[in-house]
Structure 1
C-alpha cells in the first residue's frame, strides 16, 4: 500500500524535525490520515481496534484509531505557542494563502489552527456518537469575544471533537485579542459565530446569532473586513426568509415575508459602502443575483373546450410582464419538438423562438416587491379544436437573455374514461364534454 507506506515515512521524518517544520508536517500528516480513511473507508469500517498503535502498520488500524491519530496530530501542531510569533510570509515557498487573506491569518499559528478547527468541525457520518455526547447549549457561545474566551464550557465526554473545537477557538481568540489586530481578530471571530450557529442546540440560537452579528458589526467598526459581518447578516435574513409560510400568514402581517427584501437591502448597502474586493462584498453580489433571479411557470387545463376562453395559471417571481404566443401543432411539429434536447436551454429557446405564431399577446403581472413567488391567472381567447403549443417568455423576442417555456394545450369537446372489463380488456367510453352525453361508434 503506497499511501500507507508514504504516511509511515513521513511519521518517521516528523520525529526528527525541529519547530516550525515539525508542526507543519504534523498538520499535513493529520490530513493524510483523513484522506487515507476516506479512500479506504469501506474496507476499514468493520475493523475493531488493534490496541497499541506504536509499531503497528496503519493498514490494520480501525476507523477510530485513524481518526484518533489524525486528531492527535492536528492538536499537537498548534500546541507550540511560539508559532504565534512566526509570520506566515516566511513560508511562501510551501504555503500559498488565498489572495487577500494574508492580513486575516498573518502567523503560522493562524494557518495551522484553522486547519485544526476544520478537522474538528467536520461532521463524519461514519462516527459513532458517544453515549454522553457534547451539546453546545450555552448562550455564551454567541457572546462578545471577551466573554466567550472566559466562558467555562463543560462536556461529560471530553473526547468530543466539537467540544475540542470550542476550546481551540478560545485559544485562538485569546491570542488574537492580545495581538491587538482587529482584522485578524474579526476573521477568527466570525468563524466562531458561524460555528456556534451551526452547532448550537440552544432554543433561541437564531436570535442569539443575529444579535451577535449586529453587536460584532459595532465592535469591529473600522476593521478592513467588517463587510464580512454585514454579509453574514444579509445571509441570515435570506435563510430565515426561506422559512416563510404563506398559507399560515392569513392576514399578511408576518415580517418574515419581507426578509428577502431585507437581505437585498443589506447587500446593496455592503456593495455601496465597502471595498469591491472584500469577501463580504463578493458574497453580497452573489446573493443579490440569487434574490433577483427571474422565473415563471405556466399551467393550463388538461383540455379546453372549443370556442370558449381557457384558463391559464401563472406562477412568477421578479417578473413584471410575460409574452405569449400560440402555435398550432402538426404531426411534423410535434415530432420536431420531441427531437429538441429539453435539458439544453439554448437549443430549446432557439426552437421555440422560430415557431410561427397563430396568436400573440402580452400579460402584465401584478407588481410585487418582496422578491417571492406569486400566482395569478389569465385567459386564452376562444380557439378552434386542435392541439396547440403555448409558448411563454419574459423577453419580447422569446430569445436569449430571458426564460422561456411551453405547455401543450389541447382544445376538444371530446372526453373519455376507461376501465378494465371482466376479461381484463380495456374499455373506453367517449362523451361530449359540454353535455356529458356519450359518443357512439368511435374509431381510433
Structure 2
C-alpha cells in the first residue's frame, strides 16, 4: 500500500529543491539540527508560497522531526503546528494534513492512554488568542480526557476524506510525486488516487479499539447479513448507531469501506471494486467471530470469487476460502488452492494458495515421550506423522554409559565437554 511521505529516506523533489533537501538530510544525519532548522524553515516558506504540496508537507514533517529532537513536549507542539497550518493550507495539502493530524492525535493517545483513563472531562476549547497556534484553540492536551481526544481523531480522519472528495478522486498518486511513497504497480492500480490513500489511512486508524473506552449500553452491532452481500447491497445499507456510541471504531471503518465501495461502483473499475470487497470481507470476518454472522464469510468468498472470475484478483477470494478450510477440511483446502493456482498462476492469490498448499502437504514426523514414568510400567513413546505413506521407527533402551557415548559423538566436542560434568 502507498503511504504518505514520512522521513528523509523517501526520494526528494526534483531540482532546484533536491539539492537543498540533500543538504538538510546530510546535516540531520550528523545530528546538526540547529544548522538544519533554518534551512528547513526556508524550504517550508518557499513551498508554502508556491503551493508546492509535496515540498510543503515534507517541510512540515521535517519541522516535526526537529521538534522531536529538542522539545520535551514535542508531541503537543507538533499537533499545534499542524492545527495552525491546516487552517490556511491549500488542496491537496489540506486533506493530507487532516490525516496526519489524526495520526498525531492517535500517537498521543497511545502514549498517554493510562493517564487518559484517569482523567475526567477536560476544559472546553478556548478562543483566547494569547496562545496562537495552540492545539484546538488554546486548550492544552494535558487537560483532555480520552473521549475528547478520541473525538478529535475521528473528526480529523473524516475531514481528510470529506475535503473535496471529487478532487481527491481525480488526483492520482503519480500527481502527488514523492508525497505518496511505496506500493507496487498492482497495488497502485487498485488504489490509484489520493482519496484511496487517505481513506485507507482512516480505515486503519479508526479500527484502533483503544479509542473505544466508554462503551454505552446501546451499541452498534454488525448483525445484517447484507454486510456480507454484494457490493451493491453493502453500499445501500444504512449504517447507524446510537448517539452515545459515536466512537465505535467498527462503525466508522464500515462506513468508510462503504464510501470506497460506492466510489468504485461509480468508477466502473471492477478490479479496484474487487479489492475493496476483499478488504471488507476480511474485516467483517475479524469482527463477527462467535456471532450469528460468522457463517456468512465463506459463502461470501465463494460468491465473489465467481463474480470476479475473469480477474486475477479472484484468486485472492479462493485462497481465503482455502485458508478457512485448512484445519477442518485440509483435503478441500488443497483442492481450492489448486483451483486458484490453475485460474491465474502468476497472480498474488495463486502465490498465497500455493504457499498454503505446500504447507498442508509438507511431510511431518514428530516423536514425543511421556514426562512421567511409572515404575514397572512401559515408557510411552508417541509417533505422529502427516503426509507420510510409510514410516519405519525403532526405539532403543540406552544405559547411562551409552547415553554419554551418544552425546559425546552426536555433539561438537566443545559442547560434549560442557555436558560432561552434568552426565557424571
TM-score computed with the length of structure 1 as normaliser: 0.66
Asked if residue 57 in structure 1 is aligned to residue 140 in structure 2, the reply is yes
- Structure 1 pair 282–123 and aligned structure 2 pair: CA distance change class (3 A): farther
- Native 8 Å contact 2:113 2:146 kept in 1: yes
Measured against aligned partners, the alpha-carbon deviations of 1:21-61 in whole angstroms (never above 9, x if no partner) come to 11112111111111122122223321122142331122322
Q: Distance in 1 between matches of 2:386 and 2:375?
A: 26
Could you tell me which residue of structure 2 aligns to residue 141 of structure 1?
227
Q: Distance in 1 between matches of 2:191 and 2:302?
A: 23
Q: For 1:225, which of 313, 320, 327 is the aligned residue?
A: 313
Q: Are the structure 2 counterparts of residues 63 and 324 from structure 1 closer, same or farther at C-alpha, using a change threshold of 3 Å?
A: farther
Q: Is the 1:267–1:284 Cα contact (8 Å) retained in structure 2?
A: yes
Is residue 74 of structure 2 the alignment partner of residue 2 of structure 1?
A: yes
SS in 1 for 2:242: coil
Q: 2:165 aligns with which of 76, 81, 84?
A: 81
How far residue 75 of structure 1 moved from its aligned partner, in angstroms, is 0.7
CA, structure 1 residues 62+311, in 2 after alignment: closer, same or farther (shift >3 Å)?
A: closer
Pair 1:22 & 2:126 matched: no
Equivalence for 2:191: 105
Q: How does 1:193-232 map to 2 (within 5 A)?
A: 193-200=281-288, 203-232=291-320
1:329-340 aligned at under 5 Å gives the runs 329-330=399-400, 333=403
Within a 5 Å distance, the mapping from 1:47-196 to structure 2 comes to 47-53=119-125, 54-79=137-162, 80-82=164-166, 83-99=168-184, 100-124=186-210, 127-157=213-243, 159=246, 160-196=248-284
Larger mean CA deviation between 45-54 and 131-140 belongs to 45-54
Change beyond 3 A, Cα 1:225–1:312: same
The offset of 1:202, in angstroms, is: 8.7
1:396-418 Cα offsets, whole Å, 9 max, x none, are xxxxxxxxxxxxxxxxxxxxxxx
Change (3 A) 1:203 1:3: closer
Deviation at 1:197, TM superposition (A): 2.3
1:49-82 per-residue CA deviation (whole Å, 9 max, x = no partner) reads 2142331122322222222111111111001312
- Ranges in structure 2 where 5+ consecutive residues have no aligned partner: 1-72, 126-136, 413-424
Counterpart CA distance in 1 for 2:239 and 2:212 is 26
Q: Unpaired runs of 5+ in structure 1?
A: 242-255, 341-348, 353-444
* Cα distance in 2 between the residues matched to 1:180 and 1:123: 34
Q: Deviations over 1:363-397 (max 9, x none)?
A: xxxxxxxxxxxxxxxxxxxxxxxxxxxxxxxxxxx
Contact 1:304 1:310 in 2 (8 A): no
Q: Decide whether the 8 Å contact of 2:190 with 2:271 is kept in 1.
A: yes
Q: CA deviation at 1:303?
A: 5.5
Residue correspondences, number: 325
| Counterpart selection for 1:264 from 307, 331, 334 | 334
Distance change in 2, residues 1:350/1:87 (3 Å): farther
Instruction: Name the counterpart of 2:373.
Output: 302
Larger Rg: 1
**Aligned mates of 2:270, 2:410 — CA distance in 1:** 54
Moved more, 283-292 or 166-175: 283-292
Alignment root-mean-square deviation, CA: 3.3
Matched, 1:312 2:398: no
**Matches of 1:287 and 1:2, distance apart in 2:** 45
What's the TM-score once normalised by structure 2's chain length? Answer: 0.69
**Which of 31, 53, 56 in structure 1 is aligned with 2:103?**
31
What's the CA shift for 1:155?
A: 2.1
Separation (CA, whole Å) in 1 of partners of 2:151 and 2:271: 33
**Deviation string, structure 1 residues 171-198 (Cα, Å, up to 9, x no partner):** 1111100101111111111111222222
